[in-house]
Structure 1
Protein backbone atom coordinates (compact mmCIF):
# COMPACT_ATOMS: atom_id res chain seq x y z
CA UNK A 1 0.00 0.00 0.00
CA UNK A 2 2.74 2.60 0.80
CA UNK A 3 4.34 1.82 -2.57
CA UNK A 4 0.98 2.29 -4.31
CA UNK A 5 0.40 5.60 -2.53
CA UNK A 6 3.88 6.79 -3.48
CA UNK A 7 3.28 5.80 -7.10
CA UNK A 8 -0.05 7.65 -7.21
CA UNK A 9 1.42 10.80 -5.64
CA UNK A 10 4.21 10.85 -8.22
CA UNK A 11 1.83 10.47 -11.17
CA UNK A 12 1.01 13.63 -13.11
CA UNK A 13 -2.50 12.31 -13.75
CA UNK A 14 -3.30 12.33 -10.03
CA UNK A 15 -2.61 16.05 -9.70
CA UNK A 16 -4.45 16.85 -12.91
CA UNK A 17 -7.41 14.89 -11.52
CA UNK A 18 -7.30 16.96 -8.31
CA UNK A 19 -7.36 20.20 -10.31
CA UNK A 20 -10.33 19.00 -12.38
CA UNK A 21 -12.16 17.78 -9.26
CA UNK A 22 -11.58 21.10 -7.47
CA UNK A 23 -12.75 23.09 -10.49
CA UNK A 24 -15.86 20.92 -10.79
CA UNK A 25 -16.69 21.45 -7.11
CA UNK A 26 -16.31 25.23 -7.46
CA UNK A 27 -18.64 25.26 -10.49
CA UNK A 28 -21.11 23.05 -8.63
CA UNK A 29 -21.04 25.36 -5.61
CA UNK A 30 -21.78 28.40 -7.77
CA UNK A 31 -24.39 26.90 -10.10
CA UNK A 32 -25.77 23.87 -8.31
CA UNK A 33 -26.18 22.22 -11.72
CA UNK A 34 -22.78 20.79 -12.64
CA UNK A 35 -23.33 17.26 -11.31
CA UNK A 36 -26.88 16.93 -12.60
CA UNK A 37 -27.55 14.02 -14.95
CA UNK A 38 -28.37 16.12 -17.99
CA UNK A 39 -25.22 18.26 -17.63
CA UNK A 40 -22.97 15.21 -17.33
CA UNK A 41 -24.60 13.75 -20.45
CA UNK A 42 -24.10 17.06 -22.27
CA UNK A 43 -20.41 17.03 -21.31
CA UNK A 44 -20.00 13.42 -22.49
CA UNK A 45 -21.70 14.17 -25.79
CA UNK A 46 -19.61 17.30 -26.37
CA UNK A 47 -16.46 15.28 -25.68
CA UNK A 48 -16.87 12.81 -28.57
CA UNK A 49 -15.20 14.77 -31.38
CA UNK A 50 -12.37 16.40 -29.35
CA UNK A 51 -11.98 13.07 -27.52
CA UNK A 52 -11.41 11.17 -30.77
CA UNK A 53 -8.96 13.84 -31.92
CA UNK A 54 -7.22 13.63 -28.53
CA UNK A 55 -6.66 9.89 -28.87
CA UNK A 56 -4.99 10.48 -32.23
CA UNK A 57 -2.91 13.36 -30.85
CA UNK A 58 -1.94 11.23 -27.83
CA UNK A 59 -0.53 8.47 -30.04
CA UNK A 60 1.62 10.99 -31.90
CA UNK A 61 2.80 12.67 -28.69
CA UNK A 62 3.79 9.29 -27.24
CA UNK A 63 5.96 8.71 -30.30
CA UNK A 64 7.75 12.01 -29.71
CA UNK A 65 6.00 14.04 -32.40
CA UNK A 66 3.30 16.69 -32.71
CA UNK A 67 0.60 16.51 -35.38
CA UNK A 68 -1.35 19.69 -36.14
CA UNK A 69 -2.83 18.51 -39.45
CA UNK A 70 -5.62 16.24 -38.17
CA UNK A 71 -8.45 18.87 -38.31
CA UNK A 72 -7.60 19.72 -41.93
CA UNK A 73 -7.22 16.02 -42.75
CA UNK A 74 -10.63 15.24 -41.23
CA UNK A 75 -12.26 18.15 -43.04
CA UNK A 76 -10.91 17.09 -46.44
CA UNK A 77 -11.77 13.40 -45.99
CA UNK A 78 -15.32 14.10 -44.82
CA UNK A 79 -15.95 16.83 -47.38
CA UNK A 80 -14.95 14.59 -50.29
CA UNK A 81 -17.05 11.73 -48.88
CA UNK A 82 -20.14 13.88 -48.37
CA UNK A 83 -19.77 15.69 -51.70
CA UNK A 84 -19.51 12.45 -53.68
CA UNK A 85 -22.44 10.81 -51.89
CA UNK A 86 -24.70 13.86 -52.22
CA UNK A 87 -23.84 14.45 -55.89
CA UNK A 88 -24.70 10.82 -56.68
CA UNK A 89 -27.95 10.83 -54.72
CA UNK A 90 -26.75 8.05 -52.43
CA UNK A 91 -29.13 7.08 -49.59
CA UNK A 92 -27.79 3.83 -48.12
CA UNK A 93 -26.69 2.75 -44.63
CA UNK A 94 -24.55 5.06 -42.52
CA UNK A 95 -21.68 2.56 -42.34
CA UNK A 96 -20.78 3.33 -45.97
CA UNK A 97 -19.87 7.03 -45.51
CA UNK A 98 -17.94 6.11 -42.36
CA UNK A 99 -15.94 3.49 -44.27
CA UNK A 100 -15.27 5.83 -47.20
CA UNK A 101 -14.16 8.63 -44.89
CA UNK A 102 -11.94 6.22 -42.94
CA UNK A 103 -10.36 5.04 -46.20
CA UNK A 104 -9.66 8.60 -47.30
CA UNK A 105 -8.35 9.40 -43.83
CA UNK A 106 -5.96 6.46 -44.07
CA UNK A 107 -4.77 7.68 -47.49
CA UNK A 108 -4.17 11.22 -46.24
CA UNK A 109 -2.56 9.83 -43.10
CA UNK A 110 -0.22 7.80 -45.30
CA UNK A 111 0.76 11.09 -46.97
CA UNK A 112 1.79 12.37 -43.53
CA UNK A 113 3.45 9.09 -42.67
CA UNK A 114 5.52 9.04 -45.83
CA UNK A 115 7.15 12.38 -45.01
CA UNK A 116 7.53 11.87 -41.25
CA UNK A 117 9.12 8.44 -41.70
CA UNK A 118 11.51 9.50 -44.46
CA UNK A 119 12.55 13.04 -43.58
CA UNK A 120 14.60 14.15 -40.58
CA UNK A 121 12.39 17.19 -40.12
CA UNK A 122 10.36 17.85 -36.95
CA UNK A 123 6.84 16.47 -37.29
CA UNK A 124 5.41 19.84 -36.29
CA UNK A 125 6.94 21.43 -39.41
CA UNK A 126 5.82 18.57 -41.66
CA UNK A 127 2.23 18.53 -40.40
CA UNK A 128 2.00 22.32 -40.58
CA UNK A 129 2.84 21.93 -44.25
CA UNK A 130 0.46 19.05 -44.93
CA UNK A 131 -2.33 20.87 -43.07
CA UNK A 132 -1.96 23.72 -45.56
CA UNK A 133 -1.91 21.22 -48.42
CA UNK A 134 -5.12 19.51 -47.22
CA UNK A 135 -6.81 22.87 -46.65
CA UNK A 136 -5.62 24.16 -50.01
CA UNK A 137 -6.94 21.11 -51.87
CA UNK A 138 -10.31 21.39 -50.16
CA UNK A 139 -10.84 25.13 -50.53
CA UNK A 140 -8.81 25.74 -53.67
CA UNK A 141 -8.90 22.71 -55.95
CA UNK A 142 -12.31 21.43 -54.80
CA UNK A 143 -13.80 24.91 -54.20
CA UNK A 144 -15.52 23.63 -51.09
CA UNK A 145 -18.84 25.11 -50.01
CA UNK A 146 -21.18 24.28 -47.18
CA UNK A 147 -23.32 21.21 -47.89
CA UNK A 148 -26.66 21.80 -46.21
CA UNK A 149 -28.30 18.52 -47.18
CA UNK A 150 -26.50 15.32 -46.22
CA UNK A 151 -27.72 11.72 -46.75
CA UNK A 152 -30.70 10.76 -44.57
CA UNK A 153 -28.82 7.93 -42.83
CA UNK A 154 -26.06 10.34 -41.75
CA UNK A 155 -28.60 12.82 -40.43
CA UNK A 156 -30.46 10.04 -38.60
CA UNK A 157 -27.24 8.78 -37.02
CA UNK A 158 -26.37 12.27 -35.84
CA UNK A 159 -29.73 12.69 -34.11
CA UNK A 160 -29.99 9.18 -32.62
CA UNK A 161 -29.39 8.68 -28.91
CA UNK A 162 -28.62 5.90 -26.46
CA UNK A 163 -30.77 7.35 -23.68
CA UNK A 164 -32.17 10.63 -22.39
CA UNK A 165 -31.18 12.13 -19.03
CA UNK A 166 -33.63 14.46 -17.31
CA UNK A 167 -32.97 17.14 -14.70
CA UNK A 168 -35.90 16.88 -12.33
CA UNK A 169 -35.39 20.35 -10.83
CA UNK A 170 -35.14 22.30 -14.08
CA UNK A 171 -36.95 19.95 -16.45
CA UNK A 172 -34.06 20.05 -18.93
CA UNK A 173 -33.35 16.91 -20.96
CA UNK A 174 -30.14 15.80 -22.65
CA UNK A 175 -29.56 12.91 -25.02
CA UNK A 176 -26.47 10.72 -25.04
CA UNK A 177 -25.50 10.41 -28.74
CA UNK A 178 -24.89 6.98 -30.23
CA UNK A 179 -21.55 8.31 -31.47
CA UNK A 180 -20.31 8.17 -27.87
CA UNK A 181 -19.90 4.41 -28.44
CA UNK A 182 -17.38 5.20 -31.20
CA UNK A 183 -15.30 7.17 -28.71
CA UNK A 184 -15.47 4.34 -26.18
CA UNK A 185 -14.43 1.80 -28.82
CA UNK A 186 -11.52 3.90 -30.10
CA UNK A 187 -10.24 4.58 -26.56
CA UNK A 188 -10.46 0.86 -25.74
CA UNK A 189 -8.59 -0.17 -28.89
CA UNK A 190 -5.92 2.51 -28.35
CA UNK A 191 -5.46 1.34 -24.75
CA UNK A 192 -5.02 -2.29 -25.79
CA UNK A 193 -2.67 -1.42 -28.66
CA UNK A 194 -0.41 0.86 -26.61
CA UNK A 195 -0.31 -1.40 -23.56
CA UNK A 196 -0.27 -4.94 -24.92
CA UNK A 197 1.16 -4.91 -28.45
CA UNK A 198 4.65 -4.59 -29.90
CA UNK A 199 3.42 -1.69 -32.04
CA UNK A 200 2.43 0.20 -28.89
CA UNK A 201 5.75 -0.55 -27.24
CA UNK A 202 7.56 0.70 -30.32
CA UNK A 203 5.70 4.02 -30.07
CA UNK A 204 7.00 4.51 -26.54
CA UNK A 205 10.48 3.39 -27.56
CA UNK A 206 10.61 5.84 -30.47
CA UNK A 207 9.29 8.63 -28.25
CA UNK A 208 11.97 7.90 -25.66
CA UNK A 209 14.95 7.68 -28.00
CA UNK A 210 14.48 7.07 -31.70
CA UNK A 211 18.10 6.08 -32.32
CA UNK A 212 18.11 3.62 -29.42
CA UNK A 213 14.80 2.14 -30.64
CA UNK A 214 16.33 1.54 -34.07
CA UNK A 215 19.44 -0.06 -32.57
CA UNK A 216 17.45 -2.59 -30.52
CA UNK A 217 15.47 -3.68 -33.56
CA UNK A 218 12.28 -1.60 -33.72
CA UNK A 219 11.22 -0.76 -37.27
CA UNK A 220 11.09 2.97 -36.78
CA UNK A 221 10.11 4.00 -40.31
CA UNK A 222 7.32 1.44 -40.60
CA UNK A 223 5.98 2.29 -37.16
CA UNK A 224 5.87 5.99 -37.94
CA UNK A 225 4.17 5.38 -41.26
CA UNK A 226 1.40 3.19 -39.84
CA UNK A 227 0.99 5.50 -36.86
CA UNK A 228 -0.05 8.36 -39.14
CA UNK A 229 -2.33 6.05 -41.13
CA UNK A 230 -4.11 5.19 -37.88
CA UNK A 231 -4.25 8.85 -36.88
CA UNK A 232 -5.82 9.65 -40.25
CA UNK A 233 -8.52 7.03 -39.75
CA UNK A 234 -9.39 8.27 -36.25
CA UNK A 235 -9.45 11.89 -37.41
CA UNK A 236 -11.77 11.03 -40.31
CA UNK A 237 -14.14 9.22 -37.94
CA UNK A 238 -14.21 12.31 -35.72
CA UNK A 239 -14.98 14.53 -38.70
CA UNK A 240 -17.80 12.25 -39.83
CA UNK A 241 -19.29 12.26 -36.32
CA UNK A 242 -19.26 16.08 -36.29
CA UNK A 243 -20.88 16.28 -39.74
CA UNK A 244 -23.63 13.82 -38.79
CA UNK A 245 -24.32 15.66 -35.54
CA UNK A 246 -24.57 19.03 -37.30
CA UNK A 247 -26.76 17.65 -40.08
CA UNK A 248 -24.61 19.45 -42.62
CA UNK A 249 -21.03 19.55 -43.86
CA UNK A 250 -19.21 22.79 -43.09
CA UNK A 251 -15.70 22.58 -44.63
CA UNK A 252 -14.02 24.86 -42.06
CA UNK A 253 -15.88 23.85 -38.90
CA UNK A 254 -13.08 21.66 -37.55
CA UNK A 255 -10.17 23.92 -38.43
CA UNK A 256 -8.42 25.54 -35.49
CA UNK A 257 -9.09 22.75 -32.97
CA UNK A 258 -5.56 21.39 -32.94
CA UNK A 259 -4.11 23.50 -30.11
CA UNK A 260 -7.07 22.85 -27.79
CA UNK A 261 -6.96 19.13 -28.52
CA UNK A 262 -3.19 18.86 -27.96
CA UNK A 263 -3.54 20.77 -24.69
Structure 2
Protein backbone atom coordinates (compact mmCIF):
# COMPACT_ATOMS: atom_id res chain seq x y z
CA UNK A 1 0.00 0.00 0.00
CA UNK A 2 2.82 2.38 0.94
CA UNK A 3 4.59 1.59 -2.33
CA UNK A 4 1.39 2.33 -4.28
CA UNK A 5 1.03 5.74 -2.64
CA UNK A 6 4.55 6.68 -3.74
CA UNK A 7 3.87 6.14 -7.45
CA UNK A 8 3.63 9.01 -9.93
CA UNK A 9 0.05 8.05 -10.74
CA UNK A 10 -1.01 8.34 -7.08
CA UNK A 11 0.39 11.89 -6.94
CA UNK A 12 -1.60 12.83 -10.06
CA UNK A 13 -4.74 11.30 -8.53
CA UNK A 14 -4.28 13.36 -5.34
CA UNK A 15 -3.68 16.55 -7.35
CA UNK A 16 -6.79 15.81 -9.43
CA UNK A 17 -8.96 15.34 -6.32
CA UNK A 18 -7.60 18.40 -4.50
CA UNK A 19 -7.86 20.62 -7.58
CA UNK A 20 -11.45 19.44 -8.21
CA UNK A 21 -12.42 20.22 -4.62
CA UNK A 22 -10.95 23.72 -4.86
CA UNK A 23 -12.75 24.43 -8.13
CA UNK A 24 -15.98 22.98 -6.68
CA UNK A 25 -15.75 25.33 -3.70
CA UNK A 26 -15.18 28.33 -5.98
CA UNK A 27 -17.94 27.30 -8.37
CA UNK A 28 -20.43 24.66 -7.09
CA UNK A 29 -21.64 24.09 -10.69
CA UNK A 30 -18.46 22.07 -11.20
CA UNK A 31 -19.99 19.12 -9.32
CA UNK A 32 -23.33 19.25 -11.13
CA UNK A 33 -24.27 16.04 -12.95
CA UNK A 34 -24.39 17.84 -16.28
CA UNK A 35 -20.87 19.24 -15.88
CA UNK A 36 -19.41 15.93 -14.64
CA UNK A 37 -20.92 14.03 -17.58
CA UNK A 38 -19.65 16.75 -19.87
CA UNK A 39 -16.16 16.34 -18.39
CA UNK A 40 -16.17 12.61 -19.06
CA UNK A 41 -17.31 13.18 -22.63
CA UNK A 42 -14.58 15.81 -23.11
CA UNK A 43 -11.90 13.30 -22.17
CA UNK A 44 -12.81 10.86 -24.95
CA UNK A 45 -11.16 12.30 -28.07
CA UNK A 46 -8.12 13.62 -26.19
CA UNK A 47 -7.84 10.32 -24.33
CA UNK A 48 -7.99 8.12 -27.44
CA UNK A 49 -5.29 10.26 -29.07
CA UNK A 50 -3.25 10.02 -25.86
CA UNK A 51 -3.33 6.21 -25.88
CA UNK A 52 -1.52 6.29 -29.21
CA UNK A 53 0.91 8.98 -28.07
CA UNK A 54 1.66 6.83 -25.01
CA UNK A 55 3.06 4.01 -27.16
CA UNK A 56 5.19 6.45 -29.16
CA UNK A 57 6.60 8.09 -26.01
CA UNK A 58 7.33 4.72 -24.39
CA UNK A 59 9.30 3.77 -27.52
CA UNK A 60 11.41 6.91 -27.07
CA UNK A 61 9.94 9.02 -29.88
CA UNK A 62 7.46 11.90 -30.33
CA UNK A 63 4.66 11.86 -32.93
CA UNK A 64 2.60 15.00 -33.63
CA UNK A 65 0.82 13.88 -36.82
CA UNK A 66 -2.09 12.15 -35.06
CA UNK A 67 -4.53 15.12 -35.22
CA UNK A 68 -4.05 15.35 -39.00
CA UNK A 69 -4.65 11.60 -39.32
CA UNK A 70 -7.84 12.05 -37.32
CA UNK A 71 -8.99 14.91 -39.56
CA UNK A 72 -8.24 13.05 -42.82
CA UNK A 73 -9.98 9.88 -41.59
CA UNK A 74 -13.01 11.79 -40.33
CA UNK A 75 -13.37 14.01 -43.38
CA UNK A 76 -12.92 11.31 -46.03
CA UNK A 77 -15.41 9.13 -44.17
CA UNK A 78 -17.88 11.99 -44.01
CA UNK A 79 -17.40 12.88 -47.69
CA UNK A 80 -17.72 9.31 -48.98
CA UNK A 81 -20.68 8.38 -46.79
CA UNK A 82 -22.47 11.62 -47.72
CA UNK A 83 -21.90 10.96 -51.44
CA UNK A 84 -23.33 7.42 -51.33
CA UNK A 85 -26.02 8.35 -48.78
CA UNK A 86 -24.86 5.52 -46.54
CA UNK A 87 -27.39 4.16 -44.04
CA UNK A 88 -25.80 0.88 -42.95
CA UNK A 89 -24.53 -0.19 -39.53
CA UNK A 90 -22.60 2.32 -37.43
CA UNK A 91 -19.64 -0.05 -37.01
CA UNK A 92 -18.84 0.33 -40.74
CA UNK A 93 -18.26 4.07 -40.27
CA UNK A 94 -15.81 3.30 -37.47
CA UNK A 95 -14.05 0.60 -39.49
CA UNK A 96 -13.78 2.86 -42.54
CA UNK A 97 -12.35 5.79 -40.56
CA UNK A 98 -10.06 3.52 -38.53
CA UNK A 99 -8.86 1.83 -41.75
CA UNK A 100 -7.88 5.18 -43.27
CA UNK A 101 -6.02 5.96 -40.05
CA UNK A 102 -4.11 2.67 -40.25
CA UNK A 103 -3.14 3.42 -43.86
CA UNK A 104 -1.78 6.86 -42.91
CA UNK A 105 0.02 5.37 -39.91
CA UNK A 106 1.53 2.80 -42.25
CA UNK A 107 2.96 5.62 -44.38
CA UNK A 108 4.54 7.16 -41.24
CA UNK A 109 5.98 3.79 -40.24
CA UNK A 110 7.42 3.12 -43.70
CA UNK A 111 9.21 6.48 -43.85
CA UNK A 112 10.50 6.24 -40.26
CA UNK A 113 11.64 2.63 -40.51
CA UNK A 114 13.04 2.71 -44.06
CA UNK A 115 14.99 5.96 -43.84
CA UNK A 116 15.66 5.81 -40.06
CA UNK A 117 14.51 9.39 -39.61
CA UNK A 118 13.45 10.90 -36.25
CA UNK A 119 9.73 10.46 -35.69
CA UNK A 120 9.29 14.10 -34.68
CA UNK A 121 10.67 15.32 -38.03
CA UNK A 122 8.66 12.81 -40.07
CA UNK A 123 5.43 13.51 -38.19
CA UNK A 124 5.95 17.26 -38.52
CA UNK A 125 6.08 16.77 -42.28
CA UNK A 126 3.13 14.38 -42.50
CA UNK A 127 1.09 16.65 -40.20
CA UNK A 128 1.27 19.36 -42.84
CA UNK A 129 1.03 16.92 -45.76
CA UNK A 130 -2.09 15.13 -44.51
CA UNK A 131 -3.87 18.36 -43.60
CA UNK A 132 -2.91 19.95 -46.91
CA UNK A 133 -4.10 16.89 -48.82
CA UNK A 134 -7.62 17.24 -47.44
CA UNK A 135 -7.84 20.98 -48.08
CA UNK A 136 -6.28 20.78 -51.56
CA UNK A 137 -7.63 17.58 -53.10
CA UNK A 138 -10.90 16.88 -51.26
CA UNK A 139 -12.73 19.96 -49.95
CA UNK A 140 -12.68 22.83 -47.47
CA UNK A 141 -16.40 23.00 -46.66
CA UNK A 142 -17.88 21.85 -43.36
CA UNK A 143 -20.04 18.74 -43.81
CA UNK A 144 -23.16 19.34 -41.73
CA UNK A 145 -25.21 16.46 -43.13
CA UNK A 146 -23.56 13.43 -41.58
CA UNK A 147 -24.50 9.90 -42.58
CA UNK A 148 -27.32 8.24 -40.66
CA UNK A 149 -25.11 5.81 -38.65
CA UNK A 150 -22.93 8.66 -37.33
CA UNK A 151 -26.02 10.69 -36.41
CA UNK A 152 -27.45 7.67 -34.57
CA UNK A 153 -24.18 7.21 -32.70
CA UNK A 154 -24.08 10.92 -31.77
CA UNK A 155 -27.36 10.46 -29.86
CA UNK A 156 -26.32 7.23 -28.15
CA UNK A 157 -26.16 7.71 -24.38
CA UNK A 158 -25.57 5.15 -21.64
CA UNK A 159 -27.39 7.27 -19.07
CA UNK A 160 -29.69 10.26 -19.58
CA UNK A 161 -31.36 12.50 -16.99
CA UNK A 162 -33.50 15.63 -17.30
CA UNK A 163 -32.44 18.33 -14.83
CA UNK A 164 -34.75 20.72 -12.93
CA UNK A 165 -33.67 23.49 -15.31
CA UNK A 166 -34.98 21.45 -18.22
CA UNK A 167 -31.51 20.66 -19.56
CA UNK A 168 -30.63 17.04 -20.34
CA UNK A 169 -27.52 15.53 -18.76
CA UNK A 170 -26.24 12.41 -20.49
CA UNK A 171 -23.28 10.09 -20.18
CA UNK A 172 -22.37 9.47 -23.81
CA UNK A 173 -21.63 5.95 -25.03
CA UNK A 174 -18.29 7.09 -26.47
CA UNK A 175 -16.85 7.25 -22.95
CA UNK A 176 -17.17 3.47 -22.71
CA UNK A 177 -15.61 3.08 -26.15
CA UNK A 178 -12.68 5.09 -24.76
CA UNK A 179 -12.43 2.82 -21.70
CA UNK A 180 -12.54 -0.28 -23.93
CA UNK A 181 -9.68 1.05 -26.07
CA UNK A 182 -7.74 1.90 -22.91
CA UNK A 183 -8.21 -1.66 -21.64
CA UNK A 184 -7.08 -3.06 -25.00
CA UNK A 185 -3.97 -0.86 -24.96
CA UNK A 186 -3.15 -1.92 -21.40
CA UNK A 187 -3.48 -5.60 -22.34
CA UNK A 188 -1.19 -5.14 -25.35
CA UNK A 189 1.49 -3.35 -23.34
CA UNK A 190 1.40 -5.72 -20.39
CA UNK A 191 0.70 -9.17 -21.78
CA UNK A 192 1.98 -9.33 -25.36
CA UNK A 193 5.45 -9.72 -26.83
CA UNK A 194 4.97 -6.64 -29.01
CA UNK A 195 4.07 -4.64 -25.89
CA UNK A 196 7.26 -5.72 -24.13
CA UNK A 197 9.11 -4.80 -27.30
CA UNK A 198 7.71 -1.26 -27.17
CA UNK A 199 9.09 -0.79 -23.62
CA UNK A 200 12.39 -2.41 -24.59
CA UNK A 201 12.76 -0.14 -27.61
CA UNK A 202 12.39 2.93 -25.41
CA UNK A 203 14.93 1.60 -22.94
CA UNK A 204 17.78 0.64 -25.29
CA UNK A 205 17.44 0.20 -29.06
CA UNK A 206 20.56 -1.96 -29.47
CA UNK A 207 19.69 -4.15 -26.49
CA UNK A 208 16.22 -4.62 -27.97
CA UNK A 209 17.76 -5.90 -31.21
CA UNK A 210 20.14 -8.21 -29.32
CA UNK A 211 17.20 -9.61 -27.34
CA UNK A 212 15.67 -10.86 -30.59
CA UNK A 213 12.95 -8.24 -31.11
CA UNK A 214 12.27 -7.03 -34.64
CA UNK A 215 12.54 -3.24 -34.36
CA UNK A 216 10.90 -2.84 -37.77
CA UNK A 217 7.84 -4.85 -36.72
CA UNK A 218 7.57 -2.91 -33.46
CA UNK A 219 7.72 0.43 -35.27
CA UNK A 220 5.14 -0.63 -37.84
CA UNK A 221 2.83 -1.81 -35.07
CA UNK A 222 3.21 1.44 -33.07
CA UNK A 223 2.43 3.83 -35.93
CA UNK A 224 -0.35 1.70 -37.42
CA UNK A 225 -1.93 1.50 -33.95
CA UNK A 226 -1.55 5.27 -33.55
CA UNK A 227 -3.27 5.65 -36.93
CA UNK A 228 -6.11 3.33 -35.93
CA UNK A 229 -6.74 5.24 -32.70
CA UNK A 230 -6.51 8.60 -34.49
CA UNK A 231 -9.03 7.44 -37.11
CA UNK A 232 -11.45 6.33 -34.38
CA UNK A 233 -10.92 9.57 -32.45
CA UNK A 234 -11.68 11.52 -35.62
CA UNK A 235 -15.03 9.85 -36.33
CA UNK A 236 -16.03 10.11 -32.64
CA UNK A 237 -15.17 13.83 -32.67
CA UNK A 238 -17.33 14.23 -35.78
CA UNK A 239 -20.22 12.51 -33.97
CA UNK A 240 -19.77 14.71 -30.90
CA UNK A 241 -19.87 18.02 -32.81
CA UNK A 242 -22.27 16.62 -35.46
CA UNK A 243 -20.25 17.84 -38.43
CA UNK A 244 -17.00 17.12 -40.25
CA UNK A 245 -14.75 20.19 -40.27
CA UNK A 246 -11.39 19.87 -42.09
CA UNK A 247 -9.96 22.60 -39.84
CA UNK A 248 -10.73 20.76 -36.57
CA UNK A 249 -8.36 18.85 -34.23
CA UNK A 250 -5.05 20.11 -35.67
CA UNK A 251 -3.53 22.40 -33.05
CA UNK A 252 -4.61 20.27 -30.09
CA UNK A 253 -1.37 18.26 -29.99
CA UNK A 254 -0.11 20.12 -26.91
CA UNK A 255 -3.05 19.04 -24.76
CA UNK A 256 -2.60 15.39 -25.72
CA UNK A 257 1.17 15.28 -25.22
CA UNK A 258 0.87 17.23 -21.96
CA UNK A 259 -1.74 14.80 -20.63
CA UNK A 260 0.39 11.77 -21.54
CA UNK A 261 3.57 13.17 -20.00
CA UNK A 262 1.63 14.34 -16.96
CA UNK A 263 0.40 10.76 -16.58
CA UNK A 264 3.95 9.48 -16.14
CA UNK A 265 5.26 8.81 -19.66
CA UNK A 266 8.84 10.00 -20.13
CA UNK A 267 9.87 11.70 -23.36
CA UNK A 268 13.15 9.76 -23.22
CA UNK A 269 11.20 6.49 -23.46
CA UNK A 270 10.91 3.24 -21.54
CA UNK A 271 8.21 4.30 -19.11
CA UNK A 272 4.48 5.01 -19.10
CA UNK A 273 1.18 3.41 -18.11
CA UNK A 274 -2.36 3.47 -19.44
CA UNK A 275 -3.93 4.31 -16.07
CA UNK A 276 -1.46 7.16 -15.66
CA UNK A 277 -2.46 8.48 -19.07
CA UNK A 278 -6.15 8.30 -18.14
CA UNK A 279 -5.43 10.38 -15.03
CA UNK A 280 -3.34 12.86 -17.00
CA UNK A 281 -6.10 13.32 -19.57
CA UNK A 282 -8.66 13.83 -16.82
CA UNK A 283 -6.48 16.41 -15.03
CA UNK A 284 -5.86 18.41 -18.21
CA UNK A 285 -9.59 18.30 -19.01
CA UNK A 286 -10.53 19.43 -15.50
CA UNK A 287 -8.03 22.30 -15.67
CA UNK A 288 -9.41 23.54 -19.00
CA UNK A 289 -13.00 23.08 -17.86
CA UNK A 290 -12.43 24.94 -14.59
CA UNK A 291 -10.88 27.90 -16.40
CA UNK A 292 -14.02 28.16 -18.53
CA UNK A 293 -16.30 27.88 -15.48
CA UNK A 294 -14.37 30.66 -13.74
CA UNK A 295 -14.71 32.91 -16.78
CA UNK A 296 -10.98 32.98 -17.54
CA UNK A 297 -10.17 33.85 -21.22
CA UNK A 298 -9.48 30.88 -23.50
CA UNK A 299 -5.91 31.90 -24.32
CA UNK A 300 -5.00 31.22 -20.68
CA UNK A 301 -5.80 27.54 -21.34
CA UNK A 302 -2.81 27.22 -23.68
CA UNK A 303 -0.59 29.05 -21.19
CA UNK A 304 -1.73 26.77 -18.36
CA UNK A 305 -1.34 23.61 -20.44
CA UNK A 306 2.17 24.63 -21.50
CA UNK A 307 3.10 25.41 -17.89
CA UNK A 308 1.73 22.05 -16.70
CA UNK A 309 3.68 20.26 -19.46
CA UNK A 310 6.87 22.06 -18.41
CA UNK A 311 6.40 20.96 -14.80
CA UNK A 312 5.54 17.38 -15.83
CA UNK A 313 8.73 17.13 -17.89
CA UNK A 314 10.90 18.80 -15.24
CA UNK A 315 9.85 16.75 -12.19
CA UNK A 316 11.35 13.41 -13.34
CA UNK A 317 14.57 15.17 -14.32
CA UNK A 318 14.84 16.89 -10.94
CA UNK A 319 14.19 13.56 -9.22
CA UNK A 320 16.90 11.79 -11.19
CA UNK A 321 19.43 14.56 -10.48
CA UNK A 322 18.69 14.36 -6.75
CA UNK A 323 19.08 10.57 -6.75
CA UNK A 324 22.50 10.93 -8.40
CA UNK A 325 23.70 13.68 -6.06
CA UNK A 326 22.43 12.03 -2.86
CA UNK A 327 25.11 9.64 -1.55
CA UNK A 328 23.95 6.25 -0.35
CA UNK A 329 24.46 5.40 3.29
CA UNK A 330 26.91 2.60 3.82
CA UNK A 331 26.07 0.26 6.68
CA UNK A 332 28.93 -0.34 9.05
TM-score for both structures, normalised by structure 2:
0.74
Task: Identify which of 181, 184, 188 aligns with 1:189.
Answer: 184
1:131 matches 2:127: yes
**Corresponding residue of 1:5:** 2
Residue 119 of structure 1: how far off its partner (Å): 2.7
**Secondary structure of 2:145's match?**
coil
**Corresponding residue of 1:89:** 85
**Corresponding residue of 2:58:** 62
- In the alignment of these two chains, the number of paired residues is 258
**Secondary structure of 1:164's match?**
strand
Q: Report the Cα distance in structure 2 between the residues aligned to 1:99 and 1:7, rounded to whole angstroms.
A: 38
Q: Report the Cα distance in structure 1 between the residues aligned to 2:208 and 2:13, rounded to whole angstroms.
A: 32
Instruction: Give yes or no for contact 1:38–1:166 (8 Å, CA) kept in 2.
Output: no
**Corresponding residue of 1:213:** 208
The 1:21/1:100 distance shift into structure 2, 3 A limit, reads: same
1:100-152 CA-partner distances (Å, limit 9, x unpaired): 11111110010011122223322111100111110111111223321111112
After TM superposition, list the pairs within 5 Å mapping 1:1-263 onto structure 2.
4-9=1-6, 11-165=7-161, 172-263=167-258
Q: Report the Cα distance in structure 2 between the residues aligned to 1:166 and 1:160, rounded to whole angstroms.
A: 15
**Secondary structure of 1:163's match?**
strand
Moved over 3 A (4+): 165-168, 170-173
**Corresponding residue of 2:311:** none
Higher RCO (CA 8 Å, separation ≥ 6 residues): 1
Instruction: Give yes or no for contact 2:41–2:172 (8 Å, CA) kept in 1.
Output: yes
Q: Which runs of 5+ in 2 are unaligned?
A: 259-332
Q: Report the Cα distance in structure 2 between the residues aligned to 1:93 and 1:151, rounded to whole angstroms.
A: 11
TM-score for both structures, normalised by structure 1:
0.93
Instruction: Give yes or no for contact 1:73–1:108 (8 Å, CA) kept in 2.
Output: yes
Q: Report the Cα distance in structure 1 between the residues aligned to 2:156 and 2:120, rounded to whole angstroms.
A: 37
Q: Report the Cα distance in structure 1 between the residues aligned to 2:3 and 2:189, rounded to whole angstroms.
A: 24
